[in-house]
Amino acid sequence: MRVIVTKNYEEMSKKVAQLIAAQLLLKPNSVLGLATGSTPIGAYKNLIDMHKALELDFSKAYSINLDEYVGLSEESDQSYRYFMNENLFNHININKDNTYVPNGLELDEKKACSNYDAILEKLGGIDIQLLGIGHNGHIGFNEPSDSFSVGTNCVALAQSTIDANARFFSSIDEVPRKAYTMGMAGIMQAKTVVIAASGQAKADIVKQAIYGKVSPEVPASILQLHANCIFVLDEAAASKL
Ligand code: PGA
């Protein structure tokens, strides 16, 4: 594991974008594992800038996202498909047919999950996986539990996640209670994992993920076992290390 500490959110975002850009330059048809939330927005802005200013080329790339709320369509401005279109895909030259997000409208949970695992298998796995980390240590929507999930699964969101994500909805009642998330197999089989965190509020969980016991109670702790995992932190998120 490598830990890179940057000065602030802007520098963290630049570093994350550089790692993804380097992957894409070396292998234009890379499979990019992408994440939503506040943390990656700055990295996506940097990638858009690199696309525009430096002609960073996404035309041969594939992407597969970590998760999606159950019940939200891609037109819903809270869906993660909508987020990806708005924050990245609409501004770069990726072929949207080559971008994958779990289908929130597929209410047959088994089918939704097995379809997504089949997509991941067809893509041949992920070259570089970007992750954020929840305050409770979740990665994707893999919430603290008594065992690590393996394949794509349907999760009941933890109350702390519902509370944290309520800021994106007009009321907490609108936050979906369930989500589809890629499991640990997809994440751990990625050739490179980049996990980003910013701000004091993440300092405790970052410390637990890096130095704590590997445990499904802190899902991100599994990354201690990944052969090529890079934590990119700002000073505040790294302040307890
Ligand atoms: P955040 O979410 O980037 O909005 O802090 C991270 C996560 O919940 O994985």
Q: What digits encode the pLDDT tens for the residues 150-186?
A: 999 999 998 999 999 999 899 999 999 999 999 999 9
Helix axes 41-54, 80-87, angle to 10 degrees: 40
* Residue numbers in the chain where pLDDT is lower than 50: none
Cα distance between residue 57 and residue 30, in whole Å: 11
- The pLDDT, as a whole number, for residue 201 is 97
What pLDDT was estimated at residue 194? 98
Predicted local confidence at residue 197, as pLDDT = 98
Which residue's CA is the nearest one to ligand 1's atom 8? 134
Q: Please tell me the predicted confidence (pLDDT) of residue 39.
A: 98
The answer to whether residues 140 and 182 touch, using CB atoms and an 8 Å cutoff, is yes
Atom of ligand 1 nearest to the CA of 165: 4
**Active-site amino acid positions:** 67, 136, 138, 143
Hey, which of 12, 34, 38, 182 would you mutate to test ligand 1's pocket, going by the most ligand atoms within 8 Å of its Cβ?
A: 38
* CA–CA gap between residue 241 and residue 236 (Å, rounded): 10
Instruction: Determine contact, residues 197/235, Cβ cutoff 8 Å.
Output: no
Ligand 1 surroundings by CB, under 6 angstroms: 37-39, 132-134, 138
- For residue 90, CA distances in Å to 51, 70, 99, 185 come to 12, 23, 12, 29
How many whole angstroms separate alpha carbon 234 and alpha carbon 199?
Answer: 7
198 CA closest ligand 1 atom index: 5
- Rounded to the nearest angstrom, the distance between the alpha carbon of 40 and the centre of ligand 1 is 9
210-217: list long-range contacts, CB under 8 Å, 24+ apart.
210/1, 210/3, 210/241, 211/241, 216/144, 216/145, 216/146, 216/147, 216/148, 217/137, 217/144, 217/145, 217/146
Q: What is the pLDDT of residue 187?
A: 98
